[in-house]
Amino acid sequence: MVEFELKYKDPNTMARLGTVKFNGKEYETPMFMPVGTNATVKTLSPEELKEIGSGIILANTYHLWLKPGDEVVKHAGGLHKFMNYDGPILTDSGGYQVFSLAKPKDISEDGVKFKNHLNGDELFLTPEKSINIQQNLGSDIVMSFDECIGWPAERKYVEESVERTLRWAKRGKDVFRHDNQILFGIVQGGEYEDLRRHCAEELVKMDFDGYSVGGTSVGEDKPTMYKMVGYSTKYLPENKLRYLMGVGDPIDLIENVMRGIDIFDCVSPTRLARHGHAYTKYGKINVKNSKYIEDFTPIDETCDCYCCRHYTKAYVRHLINVKETFGARLLSIHNIYYLTNLMKQIRENIKKGTMEEFRNEFVKDYYGENK
RNA sequence: GGAGGGAUAGCGAAGUGGUCAAACGCGGCAGACUGUAAAUCUGUUCCUUCGGGUUCCAUAGUUCAAAUCUAUGUCCCUCCA
């Protein structure tokens, strides 16, 4: 069972420090969770994740439901055993796939009709089914089945969607058995404060173990995203874990910690890695660029990850260019390390009460005003 | 020695009289990616002062018009001796 404890609140911002206890181990928040949709963080082994310092990782209900099937994972002894990962695992509910795979006409009160992206079969996912799958998977943190909507969205639609997401949250909660798992409700409501507030307050009445902020990073600009997050965290209880779903841009991590978020997940460190991009202190670089062909310096001089300790831009560039998987692995290690390390710095700055200065310095370096 | 086939942009390869600066693939160059249908997708890739200029092995022709037709040459491939 995952237990969250709030340890410290920043007096200047909404930033907080806490711990997540799991199996006798403690992980500090705010933290970043790498994404392992198919029960693996693409290209990386659990040992590598451990070396990087990752805590919770994320897996996906929809994908594991299709393959290999949640029953198979259950028979394997649960996700931890199946994938040999002994840290905490959070499963997404399939709610994001409502946004990325389903069409509006496929969404009904009962649930969502999907076309299996692997073979075209018609599938139907309901709030109860999503919870049931996640309980079979045996993840530690379970997400309510929600509707993640795009941006911009008409207010009338958002109103209906929020009500449906609330009804779905209730239905999921009603069938959820606590055992060794905890269940989160997801705050939706688009960019409308009253809808976010209403959604948050209704979820809090249902008393979830933690709360997610959903419906961000779906095409909106950054100020809008920050607004959406602020409108959500403002109405959530302080003693419960808050998870901002799908956000991983470095500056977004900083800004949203300052708005009271404890955990984040995002595919970008691993996806960007596979596409040859790397985060550095001085901004994101595309290692494939020809200017790096004879650059025998590390990806980031200030980084001490496995990749930066042993390999050069020229070498990683070469690996990516010839499509060797080791290149994707090295950059995945680097990018996850970068975000993990960023979270560590964030925690240190919360402790020191210097989040705003940290944010300003970070922006200067990352966006080049400091070079 | 004889008989065929072929030479197209960095490479491979379409096109066989005008709609061709020339399909498509690769390679090159760049961009995008946020609860992963994503080791994917998009743009671009003769020169240009953006008006245009110069191309389809070479040269000479036919034609209003040639990468496409004719002649000669050069080089390559296959088969027969």
Q: Are residues A108 and A171 in the same domain?
A: yes
Domain for residue A37, yes or no?
yes
Contact flag, residue A366 CB and nucleic strand B, below 7 A? no
Contact flag, residue A287 CB and nucleic strand B, below 7 A? no
> How many residues are recorded in chain A?
371
- Give me the CATH number covering residue A182: 3.20.20.105
Q: Are residues A341 and A221 in the same domain?
A: no
CA of A304 to C1' of B31 (A): 29
Q: Which of A349, A320, A265 is nearest to A43 (CA)?
A: A320
* A289 CB-side CA count, 13 A: 10
Q: How many domains does chain A have?
A: 2
Q: What is the pLDDT of residue A370?
A: 53
Q: Are residues A149 and A282 in the same domain?
A: no
pLDDT band per the 50, 70, 90 thresholds, residue A368: confident
Tokens of A129: 């089914």
Q: What is the pLDDT of residue A120?
A: 83
How many other β-carbons are positioned within 10 Å of the β-carbon of residue A103? 11
Contact flag, residue A23 CB and nucleic strand B, below 7 A? no
Residue A356 has pLDDT above 70, yes or no: yes
Q: What is residue A5's three-state secondary structure?
A: strand
Q: Are residues A52 and A115 in the same domain?
A: yes
| Amino acid in position A324 | E
pLDDT tens digits along A172-202: 999 999 989 999 999 999 999 999 999 999 9
Q: Which bases of chain B are contacted by protein, using any atom under 7 A from a CB?
A: 28-41
The predicted model gives A52-75 an average pLDDT of 97
Please give the mean pLDDT across all residues of chain A: 96
Q: Are residues A249 and A226 in the same domain?
A: yes
pLDDT tens digits along A137-164: 999 999 999 999 999 999 999 999 999 9
Q: Are residues A252 and A164 in the same domain?
A: yes
Contact flag, residue A265 CB and nucleic strand B, below 7 A? yes
Q: What is the pLDDT of residue A117?
A: 84
Domain for residue A143, yes or no?
yes
CA of A322 to C1' of B78 (A): 36
Confirm if A245 and A96 have CB atoms less than 8 A apart: yes
**End-of-domain residue from the set A266, A295, A310:** A266
CA of A84 to C1' of B41 (A): 33
| C-beta within 7 A of nucleic chain B, residues 223-252 of A | 245-249, 252
Residue A297 has pLDDT above 90, yes or no: yes
With DSSP H G I counted as helix, E B as strand and the rest as coil, what are the percentages for chain A, rounded to 5?
45, 20, 35
**End-of-domain residue from the set A236, A266, A296:** A266
Domain for residue A139, yes or no?
yes
| C-beta within 7 A of nucleic chain B, residues 313-352 of A | 321, 323, 325, 328
pLDDT tens digits along A218-228: 999 999 999 99
The predicted model gives A303-310 an average pLDDT of 98
The alpha carbon torsion through A301, A302, A304, A305 (nearest 10 deg) reads: -80
Q: Are residues A53 and A184 in the same domain?
A: yes
Residue A371 has pLDDT above 80, yes or no: no
Q: Are residues A312 and A189 in the same domain?
A: no
Q: Which of A68, A75, A30, A100 is nearest to A254 (CA)?
A: A30
Domain for residue A332, yes or no?
yes
Contact flag, residue A263 CB and nucleic strand B, below 7 A? no
Domain for residue A271, yes or no?
no
pLDDT tens digits along A91-139: 999 999 999 999 989 999 999 999 888 888 899 999 999 999 999 999 9
Burial class (CB in 10 A: 0-12, 13-18, 19+), A276: buried
The parent domain of residue A342 ranges over 276-371
Contact flag, residue A256 CB and nucleic strand B, below 7 A? no
Residue A241 has pLDDT above 60, yes or no: yes
pLDDT tens digits along A75-87: 999 999 999 999 9
ipTM exceeds 0.90, yes or no: yes
Given A92, A146, A262, A300, the catalytic residue: A92
Does residue A121 carry a catalytic annotation? no
Question: What are the Cα distances from residue A101, in Å, to A51, A93, A134, A335, A340?
Answer: 34, 14, 19, 27, 30
* Strand pairing class (A277-280; A283-286): antiparallel
Q: What is the pLDDT of residue A369?
A: 65
CA of A326 to C1' of B25 (A): 27
Contact flag, residue A73 CB and nucleic strand B, below 7 A? no
Q: Are residues A241 and A298 in the same domain?
A: no
Question: What are the Cα distances from residue A301, in Å, to A154, A282, A294, A341?
Answer: 46, 10, 16, 14
Q: What is the pLDDT of residue A179?
A: 87
Checking each nucleotide's C1' against the CA of A275, the nearest proves to be B39
Q: Are residues A227 and A370 in the same domain?
A: no
Domain for residue A314, yes or no?
yes
Q: Are residues A118 and A260 in the same domain?
A: yes
CA of A300 to C1' of B46 (A): 39
Contact flag, residue A209 CB and nucleic strand B, below 7 A? no
Phi-psi region of A288 (alpha: psi -120 to 50; beta: other; left: phi over 0): alpha
Q: Are residues A51 and A138 in the same domain?
A: yes
Does residue A92 carry a catalytic annotation? yes
Confirm if A110 and A80 have CB atoms less than 8 A apart: no
Checking each nucleotide's C1' against the CA of A272, the nearest proves to be B33
Residue A21 has pLDDT above 70, yes or no: yes
Identify the residue whose tokens are 């590598």.
Answer: A48
DSSP assignment of A208-247 equals: -SEEEE-S-SSS--HHHHHHHHHHHHTTS-TTSEEEETT-
**End-of-domain residue from the set A266, A296, A312:** A266
Q: What is the pLDDT of residue A221?
A: 96
Q: What is the pLDDT of residue A233?
A: 98
* Percent of chain A with pLDDT strictly greater than 70: 99
